Every structure is written in C-alpha cells, then in structure tokens.
Amino acid sequence: MRPVHLPPLEKRTLPNGLRLFAAARSELPLVSLLLVIESGSAVDPMGKKGLASLASDLLLRGSGTGAPGEVSRRIEDVGGRIETGVDRDRLVVSAHVLAEDLELAFELVAEVAMAPRFEAGETEAARKRVVAELEQSKDDPALLARRNLFPTFLPPEHPYAAPVPGWRRTVQGIGREDLVAFHRAHLAPERAFLVVVGDARAEEVFTLAERHFGGWTGEAAPGPTIPPPGLERPRIRLIHKEESTQTQVRMIGPAPIDREDPLFFPALVANTAFGGGFTSRLVNEIRVNRGLTYSVGTSLSLLRAAGFFSFSSFTKNESVGELLSLLLQECRRAREEGFSPEEIERARRYLAGVYPLGLETNDQVAAAIAELVLFDLGEDWVPRFRERVMAVEAAPAREAARRLFFPAPFGLVLVGDRDAILRGLEQAGIEGDLEDLSIDEAA
C-alpha cells in the first residue's frame, strides 16, 4: 500500500518564540493559514467554564481599529474566509484565501489574535447568545448526553471535565475583564505556532510572518496540571426528561495510551473493528441482529494529557437494560477473545483507505501538520501511517481491547425517563454512584 506524503515542510522560529511551518502546494492558487495557541478550555478557571470558548467567539467581533464584523467583511470581499475555534487543548484562528491575498490573511489573523477589543456591548451580546444556546440544549437529549459525558467521569475540578462551551451558570458569570485576562495570560507567541500551506514560497511566508507577528509580545501563564483520569466505582449520571420514549446512552472510560504508545495503532484498529466503523461488531450485534437502535458507535479521544474511550447510542425505554447488557457482554468478549482475522483485516483496510481522504485540501494538510506539532510526532508519522495500520495483528488488537474497553470503573450518562433508566440499570446489573439530575441541572 502506497505511503501518503505531506509536502516538504520548512520551519523557522521568530525571536519572540512563534514557531513557523510552511508547506508549498502549487496545484491551485490557494493558501491556508492556521494559527494554533496551545491553550484551550482546560485553562478555564473554576466558576468561569466556557471562557476560552467565549473568547474564541469574540475574536472576530472587533479587533484593532475595525468595527465589529470588519475582519470577516474584509476577507469575504476577496472571496476568503476567517474562522476561530477552540477545544480542550487549543484555540485556533484560521484563514483561507487566494494566493494573491496572502498578506491580507496574515494581517487579519495577526490582528484577531493580537488585538481583540472585547467591547462591552459585543461581549454582553455574545454571552447572552451562548447562554440561550445552552438553554436550548435542554431540548436535545443527544446533545445533553454528550455535554455531560466528561463531567460524569471526571471530578469538577479536573481541567478536562467541563464541556468546552461551559455551563449556563458559569457562562453567565463571565465578564469583559475575564476575557481580557484570558487573552493576556494565554495568547502569547511562545505558546503558539503558525502553519501555512498552499501556493506560497517559504521565504515569502517567513517574511510576512516577521512583518505581522514579529511585534507580538507577552509571556504565557503556566498551563494547568492535568491528573490522570480514573474512578473507584462506576459513576452514573441520570438526567430525567419528562415524557421521553427513548433513552440516550453514553459511556466513558480511560484510554491510558498516547500516540507514541506501541498499542496506539492496535487501538485504532480495535476501536474500528469494535464500534468505530459501519461494519463493526457493535453495529452488527446491537443494530442489525437485535434492532435496538439506529445509531451505535465507539470512539477513541486522545488529548494532550489524557485519553478516553467512549460509547454512544440510544434505544427505546423498554430496551435500555438489554442495550447495556449487550454492550458490557461484547466489551468482555473483546477483552477476552479479541477479534477474528476477518474483523482485523476489514478494520485495517478501512482505516488505511480513508486516511488519504483527510489530506486532500490545504486546510486538511495544515491540520495534519498542526497535529504533528501539537503532539510532538515524528516527520515519518504521515508517510508511515498506513503501513503501521496494516501491520496490526490480532494479538496487539486484543491487548488494546483489554486496556481500553471498560475494564475499569466507567462513567455512564443516561438521558430519558427516570423509571425506565432505573429498570434498565437493574436489568443490566450495573451499580455505582448515582447522580439523579433534572434537565436544568444538567445544562
């Protein structure tokens, strides 16, 4: 199977500590810029969860001397776009333009990152908008279950515990002074890097970066200490929704591996074979054979300081116990027996086949380079990815299942009718520390 290659990567570091990465791709006259600040919602202080997310939203709502929305208007006038985003580990500003507008993209990304104004009126409007969106989440059981997954497994003080957008009660307490303090403490060149991919020479990229980012100053505050996740007993978060005929089910446990672990690629294959693919074992057992749901899957989430394995599905109220029992049974079977050669081969080929599809555009290549930088991966990571996937055998895949597929106490979120959920837990023989929350308390 042919390896996939990134374009040649040239690197430089500015005197202020900003790291630069340039990859030329001249097939089309397009360029993508991706500025990554290595501070995400994990740095949100207690009582202000959602701060990084709100700051990200407001970066485009007034910066430099421009009016709110001016940055977006200027880049849209040349057919480009600029966006911001945040997750638990990082905040990003990205721009996508024609090659002839490269300097404009540099100018606007630098302005957004370095000089947001956080105007009082814009801050208040954005805060109210987020609170309203979180209020609306009460009407979406699937979203509510997803937002409560990490908080069920992790203690409230854990940096990864809260959902990235925060809670209604915490976002309501965020003011302009908090946003200014967040920007001052965490958006600094020494904790950032810039990836530029497309129809641009490296020397041009470095010259423009020096011109627009060379004056960026500031010293980043220390990052949070992130303890390893784990529970002594299962923890169950029951979220009662009146008149619900279905129950959303989410389960989460630790995934104590990283991308350098010898079991990383076996874990990818095991997850795909178990619940991460359209032809996976759980799809066959839970959806096809039993008809318990239309949607079922597992995922492996590896953050910078911890990893998590999770399960997601929903089912009718009367089949909650059957779904949970079958899930635990299949997890146990995978831990003890592993996978057949056919399951391993199907998962390997699926992963190897879809991998190149994620490296077709400048945006995707920039994101791949950012992953290499953020997780300190070797330059052979991309070209050897498919080879390493295809080399996975049944024995290490089973070992990955033993380590990941809920061998230790897990967190379980159930959103639906309280009585149906309690009956389902009893039928499945699941016991643990139970939190019985109302919809209001869970939003």
Contact present, 321 and 424 (Cβ < 8 Å): yes
The mean-pLDDT minimum among 12-21, 150-159, 222-231, 255-264 falls in: 222-231
Rounded to the nearest 5°, which phi and psi values hold at 167? -110, 160
Tell me: the pLDDT tens digits for 75-90? 999 999 999 999 999 9
Say if 9-213 and 235-442 have the same CATH topology: yes
Share of the chain above pLDDT 70, in %: 99
Average pLDDT over residues 390-407: 97
Q: Which residue has the tokens 């996937």?
A: 389
* Residue among 377, 439, 403, 393 nearest 6 (CA): 377
Q: Are 196 and 32 in contact (CB under 8 A)?
A: yes
Where exactly are the structural domains of the chain? 9-213, 235-442
pTM: 0.94
Q: What is the model's pLDDT at position 70?
A: 86
Identify which has the larger pLDDT, 60 or 434: 434
Q: How many Cα atoms within 13 Å fall on the side-chain side of residue 144?
A: 25
239: β partners = 415, 437
CB 113 within 8 A of CB 55: no
pLDDT per residue as tens digits for the range 400-422 = 999 999 999 999 999 999 999 99
Contacts of 139 (CB under 8 A, 6+ apart): none
CATH architecture of 235-442: 2-Layer Sandwich (3.30)
Q: What is the pLDDT of residues 244-296, one digit of tens each?
A: 999 999 999 999 999 999 999 999 999 999 999 888 999 999 999 999 999 99
Task: Report the mean per-residue pLDDT for the chain.
Answer: 95
Do 239 and 415 touch, CB atoms closer than 8 A? yes
Spatial separation of the C-alpha atoms in residues 267 and 397, rounded to whole Å: 6
Please name the CATH architecture into which domain 9-213 falls. 2-Layer Sandwich (3.30)
The predicted pLDDT at position 3 comes to 79
Q: Determine the angle formed by the axes of helices 320-337 and 418-428, rounding to 10 degrees.
A: 30
